[in-house]
Structure formats: C-alpha cells, structure tokens
C-alpha cells in the first residue's frame, strides 16, 4: 500500500471510530453531532516520529550580512520534550532552499504547516515578501524546497475538500488563492481556485478548522481597511473545496483559532474581539469572542471572555492612548488539550500585561475547555515572575506575543510554547521561547525549557526570535 493510500485509510478508520464513540446530543430530537475526532489540528511532525515539532520564526534576523532577511529554527520534539541540542537552522542560504538571501525579505514571518504531498510527513510553506517556498518533510526532518508561483504575505493550510491532502491558501492582489493538494515536488497543485474580494475588504488573517463537524476544514477570514474593521467571514469547506459564498460570524474579530472546546463535534471559533474602528488596538484591555460551531457553521451561541470574567486571573486594564499600552488580552491564541481530558484548552497571550510595577512585561492565560464550553473556571496565568519560570519580567518584554500548543513529548497532553520576540539576550530584541509542560492539572512549571537563538547556534542580533510558531 502506498504512503498516501495508507494515510487516507488510517484517517477513514479514525473517522469510523469517532462515529462509534461520539456522544449523542438532543436538539429537538436525537441527532449525532458529527465526527468529534476530526475537529482537531493535525500534529506538526516534520520527521514523522510522533513528536510535535516547533518551527520558530525570526523574521528580523541578519543573514549573510543582509538585515531583516529572516530565518526559521526547527526544534524537534522528543520523549524528553523540545530537543534544543539538535535544532535545525533554515534560511534562504540553506542548501536546497530555492532563492537567495535578500534584505528585508523577513523569511519565515508567514508560515503554514501541512502534509501537502501526502507522503505522511508534515511540510512547511514559508514566505513573506518574496515568493514562498515549500520545505519538504522526511524521516530526517525538513529538507530541500520548491518555489510556489503565488503571493505569500499570508499563508494558511488545511484540507478543504476532505481528500486527505493538505491544501494551501495564500493572499494575492485579487483575493485568496487556494492550491489544492497534492502539491508536487515541482510546486504544481492538483487544482487551484480564487476567492475574490471587493475593494477595501482585504483579508488580514486566515483561520482554519472544521466548524461544521463534517470532517472537512472550513475557513474564517478577518478583514479591515486602514482603521476600519469588517465582520469576519466564514467559508465552508466541502467535497468540492471552499465555497465562494460566505456568512458572517457576526463580530469584528482578528485572527483566532478553531477548536471544539465543548466537545460536541463542532469546531468553535475563538478570536480577539475588536471595535469596528480599531486603530488604537494596542491600548485595548482586550477580549476574546467564542462563536460556537454548528452543522451550518457559526451559530448564535456565543460568549465574551475578558480578564474580568469570573475565574480568569488578572484585571482588564486599558492603556492611556499615549505612552502605556493596554493588556491586549487575546492578542495571540492557540488551541490544544493541555490536561488530556479530551477538551481543547485555549492559551491566551496577554503581551501588554503589567507585572507589578513593570509595564508591558506580558503574561499568558490558559482557559480550559469543558462540556459547558470555554469559561474562566480553573484558568491559570503565568509570567516571567511566576515561580519556576526562567527569566525576569522586564519592561517591554511582551511575554506571550505568540503562543502555540503542541504535544512535543507525545504524552497526550499539549505543551505551551510562548514566543517573546522582544526578549533581550546578548542584544536587544533577540527573542526567546519558553515551553511549559501540560499535565492533568493544566500547565506546570516543572521541567520548563527556555531557549533563544544563541542556544540554538542561530543569528541573534535583533532577530525577534519567537515572532511566530508554525501551525
């Protein structure tokens, strides 16, 4: 049996098992919700060893004498957690990677991970200001690369037609271009499509996940023009790919994640909620909006969560619109099952959080999923002043600017990677990442791994390491 065939067979078996074990719900009569096991994000595993890997971006780094050329460091997972001793540095100068090192390229600022060619290994699409490339996964990790003939300012990946192959979404001047897998090693997709947008409604962020519970990924897009925000849009996936028509989520939101936080078989959309006019967003206290999924996508069941919500640590604090930023609760979000109870939890970045008298030191909050959905019950908070967390809370660290949940030690509990690109090392803004272990009780400070570019043998000066982590 070939790799793609075996891969699809395994997926079908998992779907059948999910159908047999999924709970039934009552909504005007008995109805099976959907395949709950399909409402999840595939593991980013470039070498196929079963451990989740971290692809950390450092878009401002100087490479081959070129400022802001950018690079990616891949830290592979292992039974002991994040394996920093065998990290991989990938730049435009790396053997097999197409293109050349260019000033201001910001290589790695935009990434998307998925198995695009169906060989069982996660691949990584990388780009930003120049033409993107796909780095191919293998038993030895990422290697080589193929140029894609598309734009690259924003990348996202999913399986929008349910055929088992990864599909890639890229931003362009005419709309969102969808390259349906398999994508060959020459860069040719099986087919392509374009979702056009009207003027002044440019897509600013792309979120992927299965909201309808049919086993096929859907897409939610964020839109704005200058300081004006538009309500986010839901695009259903199906056997023919993404629909060309959309429905609104009903809210002005930015970015987000899709995860089945109440385990009813439908993915729920969790995102930073903003005002229609949001030019002063950095001074906001922050709030997240949960829009629960249904068979038709976003439902009317929603909840807003802030640091003033019962059980959530901290207090919602806005800035002064001058020198001091707000908390920005929800600036970054990630989804994963930290406790191993089957309910996805949500990691919330709060990069503008003050720690004592230290302004904008930053923090993260973990909100736990449950049968009731996402609430503040049992929430946890961590910062660099938390006992057991390496480092010191310093002004302007913005700890939690990026967050990512992944099971790097394969113990069936997601671990939290916290990216802090403004962390100072030998140089200002060299950046760093912390990995907090998941446990039955939630995140723990036991055996935290923290590392910056210097520890990985990567360029450090003003690298902004941890700007994002591929998902």
Q: What is the pTM of this model?
A: 0.91
Q: Is the dihedral of CA 197, 292, 159, 214 positive or negative?
A: negative
CB 358 within 8 A of CB 393: yes
- 302-326 in b/e form (b: 16+ CB < 10 A) is bbebbbebeebebebbbbeeeeebb
pLDDT at position 11: 39
| pLDDT at residue 32 tops 80 | no
| pLDDT at residue 349 tops 70 | yes
Mean pLDDT calculated for residue range 383-387: 97
Which segment of 7-16, 181-190, 196-205, 321-330 scores lowest on mean pLDDT? 7-16
Map the chain to HEC letters.
Answer: CCHHHHHHHHHHHHHHHHHHHCCCEECCCEECCCCHHHCCCCCCCCCCCCCCCEEEEECCCCECCECCCCEEEEEECCCCCCEEEEEEEECCCCCCCCCCCCCCCCCCCEEEEECCCCCCCCEEEEECCCCCEEEECCCCCCEEEEECCCCCCCEEEECCCCCCCCEEEEEECCEEEEEECCCCCCCCCCEEEEEECCCCCCEEEEEEECCCCCCCCEEEEEEEECCEEEEEEEECCCCCCCCCCCEECCCCEEEEEEECCCCCCCCEEEEEECCCECCCHHHCCECEEEEEEECCEEEEEEEEECCCCCCCCCCCCCCCCCCCCCCCECCEEEEECCCCCCCCEEEEEECCCCECCECCCEEEEEECCCCCCCCCCCCEEECCCCCCCCCCCCCCCCECCEEEEECCCCCCCCEEEEEECCCCCCCCCCEEEEEEEEECCEEEEEEEEEECCHHHCCCCCCCCECCCECC
pLDDT at position 277: 86
pLDDT at position 23: 31
Span 86-139, pLDDT tens digits: 999 999 999 999 989 999 999 999 999 999 999 999 999 998 776 789 999 999
Span 182-201, pLDDT tens digits: 999 999 999 999 998 877 77
| pLDDT at residue 354 tops 90 | yes
% of the chain at pLDDT higher than 90: 81
pLDDT at position 224: 82
Whole-angstrom distance between the N-terminal and C-terminal Cα of the chain?
29
Mean pLDDT calculated for residue range 69-73: 97
Q: Which residue(s) pair with 361 in the sheet?
A: none
| pLDDT at residue 246 tops 70 | yes
| pLDDT at residue 285 tops 60 | yes
Band (10; pLDDT cuts 50, 70, 90)? very low
pLDDT at position 41: 65
pLDDT at position 197: 81
Residue recorded with tokens 């908390």: 327
- The better pLDDT of the pair 30, 142 is held by 142
Going by C-alpha positions, the residue among 297, 317, 299 that lies closest to residue 308 is 317
Mean pLDDT of the chain: 89
% of the chain at pLDDT higher than 70: 90
| pLDDT at residue 24 tops 70 | no
Let me know how long the chain is. Answer: 471
pLDDT at position 152: 65
Greatest Cα pair distance, the chain, in angstroms, is: 66
pLDDT at position 245: 95
| pLDDT at residue 31 tops 70 | no
Span 410-464, pLDDT tens digits: 999 999 999 999 999 999 999 999 999 999 999 999 999 999 999 999 999 999 9
Going by C-alpha positions, the residue among 153, 115, 112 that lies closest to residue 3 is 115
| pLDDT at residue 34 tops 50 | no
Band (331; pLDDT cuts 50, 70, 90)? very high
pLDDT at position 202: 77
pLDDT at position 97: 94
In terms of Cβ atoms closer than 10 Å to its own Cβ (0-12, 13-18, 19+), residue 72 is buried
Band (151; pLDDT cuts 50, 70, 90)? low
Can you tell me the distance from the alpha carbon of 329 to that of 401, in angstroms, rounded to the nearest whole number?
Answer: 10
| pLDDT at residue 247 tops 90 | yes
In terms of Cβ atoms closer than 10 Å to its own Cβ (0-12, 13-18, 19+), residue 139 is exposed
Can you tell me the distance from the alpha carbon of 120 to that of 99, in angstroms, rounded to the nearest whole number?
Answer: 26
CATH code of the domain occupying 40-196: 2.130.10.130
pLDDT at position 132: 85
Can you tell me the distance from the alpha carbon of 401 to that of 469, in angstroms, rounded to the nearest whole number?
Answer: 11
pLDDT at position 16: 31
């Amino acid at each position: 049996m070939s790799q793609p065939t075996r891969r699809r067979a395994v997926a079908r078996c998992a779907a059948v098992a999910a159908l047999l074990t999924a709970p039934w719900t009552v909504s005007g009569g008995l109805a099976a919700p959907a395949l709950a096991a399909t409402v999840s994000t595939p593991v980013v595993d470039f070498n196929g060893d079963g451990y989740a890997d971290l692809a950390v971006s450092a878009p401002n780094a100087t490479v081959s004498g070129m400022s802001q050329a950018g690079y990616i460091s891949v830290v592979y997972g292992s039974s002991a957690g994040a394996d920093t001793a065998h990290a991989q540095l990938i730049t435009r100068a790396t053997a097999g990677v197409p293109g050349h090192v260019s000033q201001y390229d910001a290589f790695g600022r935009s990434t998307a991970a998925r198995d695009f060619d169906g060989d069982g290994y996660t691949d990584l699409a990388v780009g930003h200001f120049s033409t993107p490339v796909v780095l191919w996964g293998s038993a030895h990790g990422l290697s080589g690369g193929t140029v894609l003939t598309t734009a690259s300012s924003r990348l996202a990946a999913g399986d929008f037609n349910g055929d088992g192959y990864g599909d890639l979404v890229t931003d362009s001047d005419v709309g969102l271009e969808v390259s349906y897998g398999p994508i060959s090693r020459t860069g040719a997709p099986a087919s392509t499509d374009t979702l056009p947008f009207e003027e002044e409604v440019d897509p600013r962020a792309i979120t992927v996940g299965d909201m309808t519970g049919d086993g096929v990924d859907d897409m939610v897009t964020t839109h704005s023009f200058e300081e004006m925000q538009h309500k986010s849009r839901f695009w259903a996936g199906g056997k023919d790919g993404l629909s060309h028509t959309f429905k609104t989520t009903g809210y002005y939101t930015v970015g987000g994640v899709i995860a089945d936080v109440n385990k009813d078989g439908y993915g729920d959309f969790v995102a930073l909620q903003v005002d229609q006019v949001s030019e002063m967003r950095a001074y906001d206290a922050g709030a997240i909006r949960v829009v629960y999924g249904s068979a038709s996508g976003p439902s009317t069941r929603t909840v807003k969560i802030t640091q003033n919500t019962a059980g959530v640590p901290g207090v919602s604090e806005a800035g002064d619109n001058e020198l001091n930023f707000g908390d920005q609760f929800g600036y970054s979000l990630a989804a994963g099952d930290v406790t191993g109870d089957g309910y996805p939890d949500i990691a919330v970045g709060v990069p503008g959080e003050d720690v004592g008298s230290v302004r904008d030191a930053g923090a993260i909050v973990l909100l736990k999923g449950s049968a009731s959905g996402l609430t503040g019950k049992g929430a946890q908070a961590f910062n660099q002043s938390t006992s057991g967390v390496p480092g010191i809370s310093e002004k302007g660290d913005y700890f939690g600017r990026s967050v990512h949940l992944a099971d790097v030690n394969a113990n069936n509990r997601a671990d939290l990677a916290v990216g802090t690109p403004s962390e100072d090392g030998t140089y200002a803004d060299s950046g760093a990442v912390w990995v907090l272990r998941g446990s039955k009780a939630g995140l723990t400070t036991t055996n935290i791994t923290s590392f910056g570019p210097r520890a990985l043998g990567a360029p450090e000066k003003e690298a902004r390491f941890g700007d994002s982590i591929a998902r």
